[in-house]
Chains A and B, each alone.
Chain A
């Protein structure tokens, strides 16, 4: 598996209907909000978690696709196959012993774990090589329009403790966003991919996980979440052919005409346009979804 040879950027649009895409631990699990603009937020780590979970589901038994940072709930792969026997490439003898050892460890981790290869990881060694910086970098996703979270009170016709038996029921609370279309930006560096061995197959897997990850992340809290658009910019040159912000600017998300002063309640209330004309030379645009 050779590493990818192109730089990429991507714009990822996903929406939520009557759900909480990412709770804020600081605000009693209310959906995250940008306090200045009231736009909804989804953190980068939230999206990366879902990518990991998807890869874990798809590649359950396959060697080389382990997930280091696991969530208990997806850990049903007790019978993981023994993977290919130790195949560490010979290390140059010139390197100081400690450093060589550390490199060997990180290489092994990259080879066996998808999330280490894609997002990087930190290992406790004195030598710097114990730190892996992955090629994929994601920023916070923000909603196109301000969102107004709703608090929904719900009842449960049962109680937890015997002493509360006479109450007969307990009340709970859910926080939902009626509708929100979120936009996330991602960056993939070819040069860092070279160092962790992030390959073309891995890249395809990443696109698949972005397209499908919400399909496998259903829960009472999330409501209906769906990936809506995945627009990928591929640079011919490994260093890139155009500034990332100019590429992101070519993707415009607008409300459809006449709907401006009403709240959006569906993806059909938005129009996504990619101005392929103004994409600089050497960059190709691909819509994966």
Chain B
């Protein structure tokens, strides 16, 4: 783990939607490895590297809140776009939100903070002269300066994530006292396998004194 990093992230609200309750969204208790990877990729990512989440340290008590919003019911259909393109007119290519409306509640997390422990691996796509050190430097530099490719978010884009790099010689931030002991968080989304049609993988998340150890993808503990 020579190329490990620790990133502290926090925000007012978060929603890491459970796939089984995604219509009226209900968040997982904690950030998923998949969402954590998304945050790292928002700061630095190249096809040459792959982020691997090793652990998630939960810093604040787990609290929920509910919010209901008016949302639209449908997506843009590709067929309509292509016929509008042929006709050369945007006429009729609209979605009337007040006719296609769904009110959906979301059960979201409040006031969250985590430390993501991760490292990256080089993929086959690394070009000549691309070294692990270079990518690590880029990531650390960006995280220190608060730079990002796009603003990282806590599950959904309306809940932005603030972040800072936890320096290697810095003392570990402490978890809240209420998180001490062992807690079984049940089966949780690990990540998607993008090479086989976005197949979701799950793992049994267990939090010990705030720390969730994340198994490697394709390991014994991770089930498709």
User: Bound state CA distance, A45 and B72, in angstroms?
Assistant: 11
Nearest residue, chain B, Cβ from A48: B158
Q: Does B134 contact A (CB under 8 A)?
A: no
What residue of chain A has the Cβ atom nearest to residue B10's Cβ?
A245
* Residues A207-239 near B (CB distance < 8 A): 237, 239
Question: Closest 6 CB pairs between A and B?
Answer: A243-B146, A187-B151, A239-B147, A26-B68, A189-B150, A245-B162
Q: Which of A35, A41, A69, A102 has the most CB of B within 10 A?
A: A69
Given contacts A26-B68, A133-B150, A189-B148, contact A109 B162 (CB under 8 A): no
| 13 residue pairs bridging A and B, Cβ less than 8 Å apart | A32-B67, A43-B158, A66-B90, A69-B94, A69-B97, A70-B97, A71-B96, A108-B81, A192-B150, A239-B142, A240-B148, A241-B146, A241-B147
Question: How close is B113's CB to chain A, nearest CB, in angstroms?
Answer: 12
Q: Which of A66, A69, A86, A135 contacts B85, CB < 8 Å?
A: A86
Interface residues of A, count at CB 8 A: 63
Specify which chain B residues have a CB less than 8 angstroms from the CB of A237 in the assembled complex: 147
* Chain A contact residues: helix, strand, loop or mixed: mixed
The answer to whether A124 touches B85, judged by C-beta atoms less than 8 angstroms apart, is no
- Contact with A86, one of B81, B88, B93, B151 (Cβ below 8 angstroms): B88
Docked-complex contact B95 and A138, CB < 8 angstroms: no
* B125 in the interface (beta carbon within 8 A): no
Chain B residues, CB < 8 A from A86? 85, 88
The reply to whether the CB of B13 lies closer than 8 angstroms to some CB of chain A is: yes
Q: Are A137 and B157 in contact (CB under 8 A)?
A: yes
**Is B169 interfacial (CB 8 A cutoff)?**
no
Taking A135-B150, A189-B149, A191-B150 as given, write out 6 further A-B residue pairs in contact, using a Cβ cutoff of 8 Å, ordered by the A residue number.
Answer: A69-B94, A82-B89, A86-B85, A123-B76, A133-B150, A137-B157
- Interface residues in A80-129 by Cβ distance below 8 A to B read 80, 82-83, 85-86, 88, 101-102, 104-105, 108-109, 112-113, 121-125
Within 8 A of B (CB), among A115-163: 121-125, 130, 133, 135, 137-140, 142
Number of A-B contacts (CB under 8 A): 143
Complex Cα distance, B69 from A169, in Å, reads 32
Chain A residue, CB-CB nearest to B153: A137
A174 on interface, CB distance cutoff 8 Å: no
Known A-B contacts A191-B150, A243-B146, A244-B151; the reply to A26 vs B96 at CB < 8 A is no
Instruction: Tell me the smallest distance from the CB of B82 to a CB of chain A, in Å.
Output: 6
Most interface-central of B71, B85, B90 (chain A CB within 10 A): B90
Report whether A124 and B76 are in contact in the complex, using a CB–CB cutoff of 8 Å.
yes
Which of B98-106, B173-181, B208-216 binds A? Answer: B98-106
Q: Specify which of B68, B91, B146, B151 is in contact with A189 (CB 8 Å cutoff).
A: B151
A242 interface residue (CB < 8 Å to B):
yes
1/0 per residue, CB under 8 A from A, across B126-161: the answer is: 000000000000000010011111110100011110
Q: Tell me if A59 counts as interface (CB < 8 A to partner B).
A: no
Query: B110 near A: Cβ within 8 Å?
Result: yes
* Residues on the B chain within 8 Å of A244, using CB: 146, 151, 160, 162
Give A32 to B90 CA distance when docked, in angstroms: 36
A45 to B106 CA separation, bound complex (whole angstroms): 14
Instruction: Tell me the complex Cα distance, A68–B77, Å.
Output: 12
Contact between B81 and A109 (Cβ–Cβ < 8 Å)?
yes
A187 proximity list for chain B (CB < 8 A): 151, 160
Q: Does A246 contact B (CB under 8 A)?
A: yes
Residues of chain A lying within 8 A (CB to CB) of residue B96 = 70-72, 75
CB distance from A171 to the nearest CB of B (A): 25
Q: Is B78 an interface residue (CB 8 A)?
A: yes
Cα A26 to Cα B150 with chains together (Å):
32
Q: Tell me whether A202 is interfacial, beta carbon within 8 Å.
A: no
Return chain A residues, CB-CB under 8 Å to B78. Answer: 102, 105, 123-125, 130
Q: Which residues of chain A are near B147, meaning CB under 8 Å? A: 237, 239-241
B201 touches A (CB below 8 Å): no
Output the nearest chain A residue to B162 by Cβ-Cβ distance. A245
Kindly state whether residue B163 has any CB partner on chain A within 8 Å.
yes
- The verdict on A175 contacting chain B, using a C-beta distance below 8 Å, is no
A269 within 8 A of B: no
| Shortest Cβ gap from A256 to chain B (Å) | 26
